[in-house]
Structure 1
Amino acid sequence: MGVGIGLLLASGLLPASASPVSAPSAVVSPAAGGHVYVTNQLDNTVSVIDVRTNKVVATVPVGMAPEGVAVAPDGRHAYIAANGSAEVSVLDTRTNRVTASVPVGKDPSGVELSPDGRFLYVANGGSDSVSVLDTRTNRVTASVPVGTSPVSVAVSRDGAAAYVADSGSSSVSVIDTRTRRTVRVLPGGRSPVGVTVAPDGRSIYVADEVAASVSVVGTRTGTVTATVPVGEGPFDVALGPDGRSAYVAVLGPGKVAVIDTRGHRVSGTVSVGPPGTDPFNVAVTSGAVYVTQQGAGTLAVIDPKTLKVVTTVTVGSSPYGVAVSP
């Protein structure tokens, strides 16, 4: 998704005139990682946050208009989709320096690594394709045609399939990661923009921005098994480690909706700010839920047990993607 499209999708991408005030920091378990990485779309930077202190410890220049971000399983590299420069910036997390810039398709947005970290899948919104990047060589080894305007990509835990939210063709493309071909097309609602895979691989959760809902789609049957209304403008969906809850960033009302995946219903909501805060992307660990807020220039940190915002971290201008080191 291009930076222009991102501006149209969410109102008020520029930070509010008043400086955001950080809430008092509370203790959140850092069990699932040491650092959080946030892409700042209008600053061309990535903010690096220490999960123990919830403080920004580095701000790293990357490619133009960075969007999606993924961290390698060994934590040594982060991969950033630079939408404006049609490349992936490879960040060495030990030095906080970009060590490679890999050309991909046009308008790269969402990125996801294979479970073993060997391959990075990049959704190219302007090329209607997914680039497959070999992380050992930092070279693109395949370009897979998918639907129109792909925004995000998710890989199953067994690494066998990659699911691509094609916002322009109302579908989810399924890539066989062995053959590197699109082998199926699943229903995605009216405008699918976010997708995640259940731990058992039997279903996917698709955020439909226009329909204001999340669709649950069976990966074997290819049918929608449930549709969960969440509010105006859901843009991203992420599952907790145990798969029992799905967390949805809902742009319009400035909230995160929590879906009980067993009952397929909203079991709770978390207000992260007023309308215009624009919660955008979500990353979930066992101890925290991290939500970028484009309109506020902040990262909200939510305790998944209490569903309370425990702190708000000021980052760069128009934060987009978020990922946590393992």
Structure 2
Amino acid sequence: MAAALPAVLLSACAPATLVPAHDANASRDTLYVTNKRGNDLSVIDLESGKEMRRVETCANPHELALSPDGTHLAVACYAGTRVDILATAGLEKAASIELGENARPHGIVWHDNGDIYVTAEGRKSIFRVKDPVGPKPETFEFSTGKDGSHMLAVSPDACHAWTMDLGSGTVTLVDLLTRRAPRSAVVGVEPEGIDLSPDGTVLWVSARGSDTAIELEPMTLNVRREINVGRFPLRLAIRPQGDVAVTSNLADGSLTVIDVATGEPVRTIAVSSPEEAQTRFQVTILWSDDGQRVYVAETGTDTVAEIDYASGTLLRRIKVGDGGDGLAILSAGAHGAD
């Protein structure tokens, strides 16, 4: 008779249904941007496009994630060993989660079940942080066994996670329930970007060295299709509505739009010219919740480009701090808006 699984692992596949709290006084959308060279966080009023505040963070902050109820932000401290959590109301530090020697946390997801999942690039692992803003947060480490586990996606039921492993050139599937050995596959050349469809059935990755985007079967990692996109596709993000994905093409300043159903590229959105792209250094991309806007961090010029998705029009460039990279949006009415 098989031994019973520990309760902590069983709970990994039992996402809570969280109902966001609301604040009647919050009337504007807020963009948060981690500035990796400035070691701080920009707080942008999206109605005006103006920076309202800038607060100090840890050294070299990269990715960040917003809690499901909008009350907290989690910042991956890439030059260090911890995840810092800030309250969106006031931006005071609410917690600091230590991940251990040489962690170098990067990719981060704050799941609907309330837990945080984060890559620890220097430890070849993923961490799950349970009850991150509670009185006694708990951390659980899952090995990827691969070098440079960098970006991250987590299934809707929190049973599985996928990493892009820069050093090994692989995508890795990690079982968060049974801890069976991770499964890895070599994909493209220098794969880095990754995203999972909202229903968990479609996994896309981007390979910056081969200028391709690749659709994988999530559980087997078998390649379904591989397509050519723009030059040096550093990131990939699927629209919240699940119909299209976009790649952030650093070398030519464009976004390639991919039809998720057919796997075909359907259009290219020019964010900057190929000449401008060499200095803008386009990196992270983020969709608005309604899928009408795409935000693109241009870390070389300390700007975030706002694009109207339907028309492909560049609406404006928003000035942020030194080396703006990680992005998160707190929608109007969510509790804790600054």
Which residue does 2:88 correspond to in 1? 93
In structure 1, the residue matched to 2:9 is none
Native 8 Å contact 2:230 2:255 kept in 1: no
CA-atom RMSD in angstroms: 1.8
State which structure, 1 or 2, has the greater radius of gyration over its C-alpha atoms: 2
Give the % identical residues: 27
The AA in structure 2 aligned to 1:185 is S
Partners of 1:202 and 1:220 within 8 A in 2:
no
Deviates more, 1:153-162 or 1:306-315: 153-162
How far has the Cα of 1:268 moved from its partner?
1.9
Number of equivalenced pairs? 293
Given that 2:143 and 2:182 are in contact with CA atoms closer than 8 Å, whether structure 1 keeps it comes out as no
Counterpart-to-counterpart distance in 1, 2:176 and 2:315: 39
Q: Structure 1: give runs of 5+ residues left out of the alignment.
A: 1-32
Selected match of 1:283 from 286, 289, 293: 286
What does 1:199-218 correspond to in 2, within 5 Å?
A: 199-218=198-217
Give 1:131's match in structure 2, choosing from 127, 136, 143.
Answer: 127
- Counterpart of 2:117 in structure 1 is 121
Cα deviation, 1:30-79, whole Å, max 9, x if unaligned, reads: xxx82221110000011112233322221111110000110011000010
Aligned to 1:18: none
- Secondary structure of the residue that 1:275 maps to in structure 2? helix
Q: Per the alignment, in what secondary structure is the counterpart of residue 79 of structure 2? A: helix
Q: 4+ runs of 1 displaced by more than 6 Å?
A: none
Trace 1:153-302 onto structure 2 (pairs within 5 A).
Answer: 153-179=152-178, 182-273=181-272, 274-276=276-278, 277-285=280-288, 286=290, 287-302=292-307
Tell me the distance in 2 between the aligned counterparts of 1:42 and 1:136: 27
| Alignment check: 8 A CA contact 2:161 2:174 kept | yes
TM-score (ref. length: structure 1):
0.85
Q: Partner of 1:58 in structure 2? A: 53
Deviations 1:170-229 (A, max 9, x none): 222222233455543244322221210012322211111111111100114421111121
* Conservation of the 8 A alpha-carbon contact between 1:210 and 1:233: yes
Using the size of structure 2 for normalisation, the TM-score is: 0.82
Could you list the per-position Cα deviations for residues 263-314 of structure 1 after superposition, in whole angstroms to 9, with x for gaps in the alignment?
A: 2222222222222211101111223111101111100111111111111101
The Cα offsets for residues 8-30 of structure 1, whole Å up to 9 and x where unpaired, read as xxxxxxxxxxxxxxxxxxxxxxx
For structure 2, which runs of at least 5 residues remain unmatched after alignment?
1-27, 332-338
Secondary structure of the residue aligned to 2:156 is coil
Q: C-alpha offsets along residues 236-272 of structure 1, whole Å, 9 cap, x if unaligned?
A: 1111111111111111011222111122222222222
Question: Is the Cα contact below 8 Å between 1:217 and 1:225 reproduced in 2?
Answer: yes
Contact in 1 for aligned 2:95/2:133 (Cα 8 Å):
no
Letter aligned with residue 34 of structure 2: T
**Residue identity matched to 1:166:** D
C-alpha distance in structure 1 between counterparts of 2:153 and 2:91, whole Å: 26
